[in-house]
Structure 1
Amino acid sequence: MTRPQAFREPGLPEAVTIYEVGPRDGLQNEKVVVPTQDKVDFVRRLMAAGLRTIEVTSFVRPDWVPQLADAAEVLAQLDLDGATRMPVLVPNDRGLDRAVEAGVRWIAIFGSATEGLARANLNRTVDTQFDMFRPVVARARGLGLDVRAYVSMCFGDPWQGPVPIAQVVEAGKRLFDLGATQLSLGDTIGVATPAHVTELIGAFGEAGLGPDVLAMHLHDTYGQALSNAYAALRAGVTTFDSSAGGLGGCPFTPGATGNLATEDLVWMLEGLGIRTGVDLDLLVETSTWMAGLLGRPSESRVLRALTASAV
C-alpha cells in the first residue's frame, strides 16, 4: 500500500495518542442500526489495527440515541481489563451506575460551552450542567475510575453563532476542575480554522490548562479538520480524537457532519515521522467493512485514494 514520505519537523512530538471515537460518536448518528455483534467486531478490528484507546459506546437514554441502546451487551463481549483503554460516555448518575455494573474503568462526560447545546443535549443550562456532572465525577473518582471531560461548541454554535474564547475557557476549566484528567475541545460543527485553534489552546494555557491535558475533537464540515489538527500539534497537543472512516455527527446539533477521519490523521502523522502505533492497511480494511455495513462510502479521503489505487 502507498505511504507518504516521512520528514521530521523540528519541535513536533515523536508520538501522539489517537483517541478513536468511531464506535460511539461515529455510529451514534447513523440511521442504519448496526447489530450488536458487528459493533463488537468493529471494536476488535480497531484494536487489531493498533488503536489503544477506543470510546466504545454511551449509556445515554435509548430513546435519545437508539443506535447505542445495546451498550451493556456490547461491553459484555469485550475485555475491559486488557491493554486497550475502552472509555464509555455517561450523561448522569444513572449512566455511571450502568457503567460500573458493566465493569468500565474509564468514563467521559460531555458538557457544552453554549446554552443551545446544553439545552438540546442535556436539558440544562451551561451553569446547571456542572451541578449534574459534579456528583458523577466525584463518585467515579472515588471508585478509582478515570474521567475525561468533553467541552463542545468551542468554535461556533448553530444557535449562538461565534463563541467567545473566554466563554469556552471558563466552561472547559470548570468541567476539568470537577476532577477530570483530560479535556477534549470540540469543534462540534466544524467551523474552526488553524489560527482560531492556536488562540484557544493558548488561552487555556494562560488559564492553567496546558496542551498536556488537552485533546482536540475536530469535525470536517468545512474541510478544515486536518489543518486544524496540524495547528494543534504545533501548539503542543498530543491527543487527537478521530473516527475510523470519518464516521460521525451529533444527533442534537443541526449541520454537524463527520469527525476527522482516523485514516487521514494517520497519513499526515506518518508523513511527519510521528508514531501512532496504527496499521493503516488494517484500519482501511476495517473502515471499508463498516462502510459496507452502513451502505454508503467512507468519508475518508485517504481511504478513498488507497482503495482506488488498489483496484
Structure 2
Amino acid sequence: MSLPTLVNITEVCPRDGFQSLPVNISTDSKVEIINRLQKCGFSQIEVTSFVHPKAVPQMKDADEVLQRVIKEEGVVFRALIPNVKGLERAMKANVDKVKLMLSATDSHSLYNANSKTMEAIENFKPIVQRAEGTNIKVSGSISVVFGCPYEGEVPLDRLLTICERYEKLGITDISLADTTGVGHPVQVKRVIRELRQHYPDFHFSLHLHNTRGMAFANAVSGLEEGIVDFDSSVAGLGGCPYAPNASGNIASEDIVHGFEEMGIRTNTDLDSIIDVGQHLAEKFPKESNSFILKAGKSKDLVKAPGKQVKIGEVEGKH
C-alpha cells in the first residue's frame, strides 16, 4: 500500500487545547505559546475562536491575543467562528482562515450551537456572503462524525447530506472530527472512502481525539485513504465542553513522532514540539495526555546496566 510521503499538521492547542482547561490562562501565556509553536514549523495554527465570552470564557481575550502575537512569515492562522460577528472579528485580527462549527447530529448541535444541524448550516449563508471578495478563506467542519454521545453512530447518509449542503455554499474544505474519540480504524476507513467517492473534489482533514487510545490508529487509517491533513494539540490538551468525557486531542508530539518513524515527513521540529509540550504538561499535568512526553522518542537511548540483575539479589531485598 502506497502512503503519502508528506503530511500537514495543524496545531490546535491555542484553541481546542486551551478552551476546556479548568483554570484561566493569561493573555501573556497564550501569546508566548503561540509564538513558540510558530517556531516548531507548523504551517497552520488554530489560534483561537471568536465566540461569545459567556460560551467559552477562556477565549474572551481572542482579539488581544491576535494583536500581540508576532506572526511568522508562511504560517497560516486559523480561527473558529460561529457567526458573522465572529467573522468580522477574525478579519479585523488578520486571521487567514476561519472554520465553521457544525455538528453531525441534532442533539449535539442543539447543545453546541443552539440549533439543529440543518438550521445551523443555513445560518452559514451570511458568513459566506460576507467573506466573498476578501482574502479570508472559509472552511467547514463536522463534529461527532464517527459517533455522537447522545445519538450513537451517525448514518452515512446524514454525512453525505451535510457535505451536499456545504457544497451548495461553495465550501469544500472540510474537517472531520472524532469529537469524543469513539471512532475505530475500520469505521474511519469506511467513512472517508465513502465521502471521498461521493465528493472527490472535497479536501477532507482529520481532527482526532484520543479519548480511548485509538487516535493514532485512526490517523493511519486516514493516511491509507488519502488524508494528508491532520489536527493535533501539543501535550494532548483539549476537549469539547459540549460533549461528556471528551478528553484531549491526539498529542502533536505523538502524531509527528509516529509519522516520522514511518518515513512520512511533517516538516516540523519534533524536539521543539516536545519542549513546548513539557512546558504545558508541567503546568497542566492532569489534562496532559502524551505518550512521547512520558516515554520519550523511540530512538532515544538510555545507559545500559552495568551487570545483569539476578533474581536472588532482587528477592533478598524484600
| Residue identity in the other structure for 1:167 | R
Correspondence for 2:294: 304
Once the 2 structures are TM-superposed, how far is the Cα of residue 251 of structure 1 from its aligned partner?
0.5
* CA distance in structure 2 between the partners assigned to 1:242 and 1:177 by the alignment: 29
Quick one: distance in 2 between partners of 1:184 and 1:40?
25
Runs of 4+ in structure 1 displaced over 4 angstroms? 307-311
Evaluate the alpha carbon distance shift between residue 45 and residue 139 of structure 1 in structure 2; reply closer, same or farther with a 3 A threshold: same
Q: Kindly state the Cα deviation for residue 102 of structure 1 after the two structures are TM-superposed.
A: 1.5
Map residues 270-281 of structure 1 onto 2, 5 A cutoff: 270-281=260-271
- 1:86 is paired with a residue of what secondary structure? strand
The residue that corresponds to 1:165 in the other structure is 156
Alignment TM-score, normalising by the size of structure 1: 0.92
Single out whichever of 225-234 and 123-132 deviates more from structure 2.
Answer: 123-132
Number of matched pairs: 301
Mapped to 2, the partners of 1:57 and 1:116 lie a distance apart of 25
Task: Report the Cα offset of residue 294 of structure 1.
Answer: 2.8
Q: Distance in 1 between matches of 2:172 and 2:76?
A: 14
Look up the equivalent residue of 1:242 and give its one-letter code: S
Matches within 5 A, 1:67-82: 67-80=58-71, 82=73
Contact 1:42 1:290 in 2 (8 A): no
- Distance in structure 2 (CA, Å) of the matches to 1:146 and 1:75: 17
Confirm or deny: 8 A CA contact 1:147 1:181 kept in the other structure.
no
Counterparts of residues 143-154 of structure 1 (less than 5 Å): 143-154=134-145
Matches within 5 A, 1:210-225: 213-225=203-215
Supply the distance in 2 between the matched residues of 1:296 and 1:127 (Cα, whole angstroms): 37
Q: For residue 105 of structure 1, what is the amino acid of its counterpart?
A: D
**Whole-angstrom distance in 2 between the partners of 1:103 and 1:239:** 23
CA distance in 1, matches of 2:37, 2:164: 32
Q: Does the aligned pair in 1 maintain the 2:21–2:287 contact within 8 Å? A: no
Identity %: 39
Between the aligned partners of 1:123 and 1:173, the Cα distance in structure 2 is: 22
Q: For residues 128 and 80 of structure 1, what CA distance do their matches in structure 2 show?
A: 36
Of the three residues 257, 281, 286, the one matched with 2:276 is 286
Q: 1:291 to 1:141 in 2, by over 3 A?
A: farther
Deviation at 1:166, TM superposition (A): 1.6
TM value normalised by structure 2: 0.90
State whether residues 189 and 222 of structure 2, in contact with CA within 8 Å, keep that contact through their aligned partners in structure 1: yes
2:46 match: secondary structure: coil
- What letter corresponds to residue 238 of structure 1 in structure 2? V
Structure 1: distance between partners of 2:81 and 2:115: 15
CA, structure 1 residues 206+44, in 2 after alignment: closer, same or farther (shift >3 Å)?
A: same
Unaligned runs of 5+ in 1: 1-9
Q: Secondary structure at the match of 2:141?
A: strand
Structure 2 residue 202 is matched with structure 1 residue 241: no
Which has the higher Rg, Structure 1 or Structure 2?
Answer: 2
Following superposition, the deviation at residue 181 of structure 1 comes to 4.4
Distance 1:209 1:190 in 2: 26
Look up the match of 2:253. 263
Which residues of structure 2 form unaligned runs of 5+? 304-318
Who is 2:24 aligned against?
33
